[in-house]
Amino acid sequence: MAIYEKEGGDTAVLPSKIQEQISQIDSTEPDLIIRLQNVGKVYKTGSGDFAALRDISLDIEAGEFLGIIGKSGAGKTTLLNMISGVSEITSGEVWFYPQDGARGNGRVSPILLNDLKEDELAAWRGQNMGVVYQSFELLPQLDLVTNIMLPQDFAGRYQAKLSRARAMELLDIVELTEHAYKLPAHISGGQKQRIAIARALVNDPAIIIADEPTGSLDTVTAETIFQIFEKLVAQGKTIIMVTHDNELAPRFSRVVRIADGELVDETAVIGPITEVTAVKTLTEEGDAAPLNGQTAVFYRGSDKVTPHSRRSEPAIILKDVHKVYVNAAGEFPALKGIDLQLDYGQFISIVGKSGSGKSTLLNMLTGIDHPTAGEVIIGGQNIYQMSESQRARWRGHNMGIVFQFFQLLPTLTLLENVMLPMDYNNVYPVGERPERAAELLKMVGLEDHLHDLPMTVSNGQQQSAAIARSLATDPPIIVADEPTGNLDSRSADNIIQVFQHLADRGKTILIVTHDPSLTSRTDQTVIISDGEIIDETIANALPLLDHPLMLQATRHAEKKTYAPGEIIVQQGKPLVNFFMVAAGAVDVVIDSPHYPETILATLGKGQFFGEVELVGDKTAIATVRATPDKPVTVCVLPKQLFCDLLGQSPPTAEELKRVAETRHKENITKSKSIN
């Protein structure tokens, strides 16, 4: 007879079936930490049973960095829920093998998680597993260091000094020590995710499971998280990470691929993880209009040019907007004098690293949070002169919002979730609302999931439904915070194409992203760093500078406007500035008493001049003047600042040196040919 010791010290006799399974376990597998045997998971919905996992068998070894890769809806998150005991399995067994010295066990006998009661599972999870969800779930009323200490409090291990010291140590690991006593509302979404990871580590668990932990982070922060995980694995931790990004596969010690609830052979070579969507775009004539090999459908009316596309005034104006958060640690300025103008019919990306102020800026634009100072004028209205209720009604009719985390109502189907804004804002006849909602869901590839509840589809599909919901009232402005962060590459591409099509039809699309590849697909890029907007001219002319250096240049640059034909740089004179063209154009001219004046080049917006002389410390080899047809505005950097920037950015220095040498040779060659 086998005796099973439960959490808390109680004992019980194991059923004979389980005794047989233990006897069959190979005692020569000391590194095994988790075993799944024929695990299945079936969700029961109003439309029938949905099999999320089918007959999954998987061994996970202690100390490995396991990547679980699959497209949206493949069953990745459900598999994590089985491993962590968060969700009850429908069939099969999940075993945990305590390692020598595992806390709270004092034994090496395997534990059948199916056999544990809910409170026993919770205790086991608190002792042995750190969990990082896609949404970080920090308590908003507690500061960051207290949020990190929560698991120790729940596990009964809280000791004021020791717990706080451990929390501060973890804050240092995720590089957020200086924010220890801020509230979650005062940091960025990326920083919140890093706090969630620190919290998962506080009890020093043997296993850490992470569901897309880098999905909402910029590349630099994501790399920091990966390095943290790699160090933990080197120290003996087991990391199990779910991702839809196939490019991350080489970072793991082992990869398991999942598709349609089943494991794909680890050694099999499969194509990129994509989600094929083939839907239809309805033009005004009703014909299908392909979008880069894919198509998308738009509900009636949205395919027409809206009145907003004909407006001459800007869609959005921010005037000297400041936002200062105040807490026990003092004041924290999140936005510092933002001036910004955005036009109708533009697809605009807002980029910046974690903590730069992106989310705070969105909160100002959407009326969710109040600026400390300044004006926010949208569609000609100062939205902060409205009352809260007026602003809520205005937002419902004029702005579609897609949050980082989708916030669908769990008791409503996807169709009903998309219909909600129509109901609350009383737009469109009641009988037409289901059809319009269905067309929007079809647009984002969810035509087969209209009547599914959010919990029965993947996180990526929930985000797609949230995007469809943002379009429900046909608002002129769509604001999206990392809308593609939870989607596979094909689904993300489809969403971006939808946004591009909507912008072409007169809507204003603002998308916050940390993915630099998306900025090439937008009409305008707004870069924010340390609560300030980086000058667009500087960003375009010197793209290899990092954001802090771009901001430094922005703070010291001066805008100057020259009349048509006016000389900016005189040939033969010393040069003391570096120039970038912000608007208009300039002619680069060689002048000599021996031959007629010759235009060597014409430089337009985003181009620069003066680098030949400054890099080579020479006098001006040509005259530069505004073109004769219109004025030119240039962004001017003093020579000393320009040289300092090059000293701090070797890639920029190397690129400008290359450009300077090329231009100098071209100018000399042209001069000789004239002589």
* The last residue of a domain, from among 533, 553, 575: 533
Determine the pLDDT at residue 352: 86
Compare 486 and 331 and report the one with higher pLDDT: 331
**Is 31 found in the same domain as 177?**
yes
**Is 565 found in the same domain as 495?**
no
pLDDT tens, position by position, 194-203: 888 888 888 8
Residues 471/478, Cβ–Cβ less than 8 Å: yes
Structure tokens at 457: 């589809």
163 belongs to a structural domain:
yes
Angle, CA of 127, 204 and 77, to the nearest 5°: 70
Determine the pLDDT at residue 595: 66
In the chain, what is the straight-line distance between the N-terminal and C-terminal CA atoms, in Å? 105
Residues 381/435, Cβ–Cβ less than 8 Å: no
pLDDT tens, position by position, 261-308: 898 865 433 333 333 222 222 233 333 333 333 233 333 333 444 444
Determine the pLDDT at residue 496: 84
* The last residue of a domain, from among 510, 533, 556: 533
Neighbours of 166 (CB within 10 A): 21
User: What DSSP state is assigned to residue 288?
Assistant: B
Determine the pLDDT at residue 260: 86
279 belongs to a structural domain:
no
**Is 184 found in the same domain as 229?**
yes
Determine the pLDDT at residue 95: 93
CATH of the domain at 637: 2.60.120.10
Residues 396/473, Cβ–Cβ less than 8 Å: yes
The upper half-sphere exposure of residue 45, i.e. CA atoms within 13 Å in the direction of its Cβ, equals 23
pLDDT tens, position by position, 575-618: 888 999 999 999 988 877 666 778 888 999 989 988 876 766 67
pLDDT tens, position by position, 651-666: 988 888 888 778 777 7
The chain-wide mean pLDDT, for the chain, equals 79
Which amino acid is residue 611, in one-letter code? E
Q: Which residues contact 483 (CB under 8 A, 6 or more apart)?
A: 402, 463, 466, 467, 495, 511
> φ and ψ at 162, to 5 degrees?
-65, -40
**Is 550 found in the same domain as 523?**
no
Name the nearest CA neighbour of 477 among 448, 445, 452, 509. 509
> φ and ψ at 459, to 5 degrees?
-60, -40
- CA 219 to CA 256: how far, in whole Å? 24
* The last residue of a domain, from among 235, 264, 293: 264
298 belongs to a structural domain:
no
Q: How many domains does the chain have?
A: 3
Report, as an integer, the average pLDDT of 547-554: 92
Q: Which residues contact 223 (CB under 8 A, 6 or more apart)?
A: none
pLDDT tens, position by position, 531-540: 999 998 999 8
User: What DSSP state is assigned to residue 522?
Assistant: S
Residues 599/584, Cβ–Cβ less than 8 Å: no
Which amino acid is residue 343, in one-letter code? D
29 belongs to a structural domain:
yes
Name the nearest CA neighbour of 198 among 215, 216, 210, 212. 210
pLDDT tens, position by position, 383-432: 999 888 788 888 888 888 887 666 777 778 899 889 988 887 888 888 89
**Is 527 found in the same domain as 622?**
no
Q: Binning pLDDT at 50, 70 and 90, where does residue 142 land?
A: confident
- Whether the pLDDT of residue 18 is over 70: the answer is no
Determine the pLDDT at residue 135: 65
293 belongs to a structural domain:
no
Name the nearest CA neighbour of 636 among 526, 535, 565. 535
Q: Binning pLDDT at 50, 70 and 90, where does residue 157 land?
A: low
Determine the pLDDT at residue 402: 82
Residues 305/505, Cβ–Cβ less than 8 Å: yes
**Is 560 found in the same domain as 503?**
no
**Is 318 found in the same domain as 199?**
no
Distances (CA, A) of 265 to 56, 125, 254, 258, 495: 12, 29, 12, 9, 31
Determine the pLDDT at residue 46: 62
CATH of the domain at 331: 3.40.50.300
> φ and ψ at 61, to 5 degrees?
-95, 150
282 belongs to a structural domain:
no
User: What DSSP state is assigned to residue 454?
Assistant: G
- CA 508 to CA 441: how far, in whole Å? 21
Of the listed ranges 44-48, 142-146, 509-513, the least confidently predicted one is 44-48
DSSP-based three-state secondary structure for 667? helix
Determine the pLDDT at residue 657: 84
Compare 478 and 283 and report the one with higher pLDDT: 478
202 belongs to a structural domain:
yes
pLDDT more than 90, % of the chain? 24
Compare 511 and 142 and report the one with higher pLDDT: 511
- CA 67 to CA 240: how far, in whole Å? 6
Determine the pLDDT at residue 616: 66
Name the nearest CA neighbour of 272 among 493, 582, 556, 23. 493
Q: Residue 67's domain spans which residues? A: 3-264
pLDDT tens, position by position, 207-232: 998 888 877 666 666 777 788 888 88
Determine the pLDDT at residue 166: 86
E strand or H helix that includes residue 173: helix 160-173
281 belongs to a structural domain:
no
Determine the pLDDT at residue 254: 92
Q: Which residues contact 480 (CB under 8 A, 6 or more apart)?
A: 401, 402, 467, 470, 499, 509, 510, 511, 512
pLDDT tens, position by position, 98-136: 876 444 444 468 899 988 887 788 788 888 888 887 666
Name the nearest CA neighbour of 145 among 279, 401, 382, 327. 327
**Is 10 found in the same domain as 102?**
yes
**Is 257 found in the same domain as 331?**
no
**Is 632 found in the same domain as 651?**
yes
pTM (2 d.p.): 0.58
**12 alpha carbon, distance to own chain's centre:** 48
Name the nearest CA neighbour of 514 among 242, 245, 216. 216
**Is 237 found in the same domain as 161?**
yes
**Is 372 found in the same domain as 250?**
no
